[in-house]
Amino acid sequence: MNLPIRNHGGECGSLFGDVTGCEPCHPRFRQHHQAASRRHGGHDGQILAVRSHFLSTGTVPEGVSSPLVRSWQRSSRFGFASPTLNKQRDRLAEPGLKSLKESNNDLIMSAVDEMASLGQELSDQGGVVILTDPSGIVLARQGNGSFSLEADRLGLNEGFDWSEEAIGTNAIGTVALERTALTITGAEHLFCLNTSISCSAIPILDPSGTLAGVLDVSTSVSVSHDYLLLLLKRSALEIERRLFERRFPRHVKLRFHSSEYLFGGTRDGLLAFDDDRLVGANRTALELIGREWPMVGMARFDELFATGYDAVEEMALSGKSNLRSTDGREFFARLQLPAKSAALKHSSCAITSNRWVDAVEPEPETRPHLLIERMQERGTLRFRKMKAGQLLYGASLVDASGEAILVFASGRYRCFASHDGRELTLFRLGCGDAIPLGADLAVEVCADGDVLVIPRTLFQKLQRKYPEFGSCVMPVIERLLGQSLAMVGDMAFRSVRHRVIRHLCTLADHEGRQTQTGTVIDGAPSGDELAAAIGAARQSVSTVLAELIRCGEMHRPSPRTLIIRNVDRLRVELDTSA
């Protein structure tokens, strides 16, 4: 299959700053200009003015330097500013595409759940989620709806090359070269075939810091991308975590975070060691310890942490409460020994401020849902297809024992308890998790997926017949229960105000951007989301937020934007109430 590439011949005056001469481009350009100006104010107008100047003169005004302008310069050298451009885009042949997918299997498998979740997020607006290899060739696509035909027309399909050299400025190709998340909207594409779309993309890094691929969301130009980069960032972190787990099944692995409240979640730092040498990391880990990617493959354990490597096994089994870096930073951590060591010691241990939870995290190939696929009874153990918004009530699932075990193969879920119209979120669940569900609990499906419900009596039979299944499921349940107990303890000893402020300070540290008016948190949680995150009633959280706004500590210019005037001042309040 191939697609034609044309720049509308000599009639396309938009390439040189005059949009009135190109009938196909003019409406899209005007629509993009008006919509973008409303969203981004003067910044977008400045970018468009720079583009017009560049296409008219071939030069960039002094003082302008951005990934977008550098991309225009590269694309111009590739010939995409030429009004006479006319060539074919070829799709990679099936044998070549199959080989490419096989060589990127870890990336594809690590991304499939996140792509499905993003596709669900886009279902109302229309758009597609794209995964490419490091060179920009599409490996997978998710998403249906009104934008699918346009995506097909443009070649947003498996096997097509979206590098800058192949198609000019676009989010996929530009991100692959710049290695930074960005959005390319409408006329910011140098090549006018693509001015009808907007694209946001983020690089996916492997545990050595090498580009593994690019995750992209493409939509009609009329769809706002204001919050898509935040969603992509969260998805990229999860994909990188899964890549890490696949890469290092037999290494010493350290999971840690500076916040006890966030420890055990998706923003944990991850480090892998071969003997005492650092061989893998995720970007969160390097941010937490203040190191750069060149350290991977070179740094030794005792260069990073005050505890020497000779005490690693002792550390995994002892009652130490935290881990300290060589520059004095304190972390809550869990050290997982290689499978051989874990078998000898029977457990690895989770470090928290006042408790240890024995837990050996299952390797990817021994996750509960994968073990079920190998059982003789797999014909009767059928996973249910669940849709976002559905609810599973424990009361309708349990057997005479009063409990059922839920095993999650894909999707995202929230387990909660409710009473008198109030809800308390107990667990956030995803692929590879398993929980016991009592009659008084319920599970909400947050993103489409597959769930297996096993009555407790049947689960006990399976445990006896397949001991490895029980040894795989129980540590997963213990880990989740440990997190839930930590949250309950927090609720018992910390006020709602303290927990709200601590959560906001943590968000400011990891997702905030500094401005003259304070620290801006884009994509800030709603009141309901914040209440679920800290285990409090929505009304109590709303009261605290209103107090903080009233006394001038923060400002909420939009439902998803939060500005904290002075984060340090809020931290002082945390210290005094500790």
pLDDT band at residue 578 using 50, 70 and 90 as cut-offs: low
457 and 525 share a domain? no
pLDDT at 243: 93
Cα angle 167, 181, 224; round to 5:
80
CATH of the domain at 373: 2.60.120.10
Dihedral Cα 163, 166, 170, 171, nearest 10 deg: -10
User: Which of 361, 378, 406 represents a domain boundary (last residue)?
Assistant: 361
Mean pLDDT of the chain: 78
Q: Which two tokens stand for residue 70?
A: 């550098």
Is residue 239 assigned to a domain? no
pLDDT at 204: 97
> For 273-296, what is the mean pLDDT?
92
22-32 confidence digits (pLDDT tens) = 433 444 444 44
In three-state secondary structure terms, 165 is helix
pLDDT at 19: 37
Number of domains into which the chain is organized: 4
Q: Which two tokens stand for residue 295?
A: 């350290």
> For 452-470, what is the mean pLDDT?
87
pLDDT band at residue 44 using 50, 70 and 90 as cut-offs: low
Cα angle 164, 169, 172; round to 5:
65
392 and 463 share a domain? yes
pLDDT at 379: 66
> For 339-348, what is the mean pLDDT?
41
CATH of the domain at 503: 1.10.10.10
Higher pLDDT, 525 or 317: 525
pLDDT at 118: 87
476 and 500 share a domain? no
Is residue 511 assigned to a domain? yes
Is residue 186 assigned to a domain? no
According to DSSP H, which parts of 80-145 are helical? 94-103, 105-121
337 and 369 share a domain? no
357 and 369 share a domain? no
Q: How far apart are CA 449 and CA 414, in angstroms?
A: 13
Distances in Å between the Cα of 504 and the Cα atoms of 344, 384, 428, 472, 497 are 42, 37, 19, 35, 11
404 and 352 share a domain? no
Is residue 125 assigned to a domain? no
HSE toward the beta carbon, residue 300, CA cutoff 13 A: 8
> For 272-288, what is the mean pLDDT?
92
- Distance from CA of residue 465 to its chain's centroid? 37
138-167 confidence digits (pLDDT tens) = 999 988 777 888 888 888 999 999 998 888
Q: How far apart are CA 199 and CA 219, in angstroms?
A: 6
1-10, 142-151, 228-237, 278-287: segment of lowest average pLDDT: 1-10
356 and 372 share a domain? no
Task: State which amino acid sits at residue 385.
Answer: K
Higher pLDDT, 6 or 367: 367
| pLDDT value at 356 more than 50 | no
355 and 451 share a domain? no
**pLDDT over 90 for what percent of the chain?**
22
313-329 confidence digits (pLDDT tens) = 666 555 445 788 999 89
Q: How far apart are CA 229 and CA 240, in angstroms?
A: 16
User: Which of 53, 87, 121 represents a domain boundary (last residue)?
Assistant: 87
> For 427-432, what is the mean pLDDT?
81
pTM (predicted TM-score): 0.58
Is residue 323 assigned to a domain? yes
User: Which of 361, 388, 405 represents a domain boundary (last residue)?
Assistant: 361
434 and 394 share a domain? yes
Higher pLDDT, 485 or 244: 244
| 8 Å CB contact between 213 and 239 | no
Is residue 179 assigned to a domain? no
| pLDDT value at 476 more than 70 | yes
Helix (H) or strand (E) holding 220: strand 211-220
60-64, 225-229, 466-470, 517-521: segment of lowest average pLDDT: 60-64
pLDDT at 34: 47
528-574 confidence digits (pLDDT tens) = 778 777 777 777 888 899 899 989 999 888 877 889 999 888 888 88
> For 248-273, what is the mean pLDDT?
84
436 and 529 share a domain? no
> Where is mean pLDDT largest: 27-41, 283-297, 333-347, 464-478?
283-297
HSE toward the beta carbon, residue 503, CA cutoff 13 A: 25
Three-state SS letters, 524-573: CCCHHHHHHHHCCCHHHHHHHHHHHHHCCCEEEEECCEEEECCHHHHHHH
pLDDT at 145: 73
| pLDDT value at 36 more than 50 | no
> For 196-225, what is the mean pLDDT?
91
Higher pLDDT, 384 or 34: 384
> For 344-349, what is the mean pLDDT?
38
| pLDDT value at 64 more than 90 | no
| pLDDT value at 291 more than 50 | yes
> For 21-45, what is the mean pLDDT?
45
Is residue 144 assigned to a domain? no
Instruction: Name 197's bridge partners.
Output: 220
| pLDDT value at 169 more than 60 | yes
348 and 427 share a domain? no
Higher pLDDT, 66 or 422: 66
pLDDT at 348: 39
Is residue 472 assigned to a domain? yes
| 8 Å CB contact between 244 and 282 | yes
Buried/exposed code over 464-498 (b: 16+ C-beta within 10 A; e: otherwise): eebeebbebbbbbbbbbebbbebbeebeeebebbb
| pLDDT value at 94 more than 50 | yes
375 and 442 share a domain? yes
Q: Which domain holds residue 56?
A: 2-87
358-402 confidence digits (pLDDT tens) = 333 444 445 787 788 777 666 678 888 898 888 988 888 877 778
| 8 Å CB contact between 84 and 91 | no
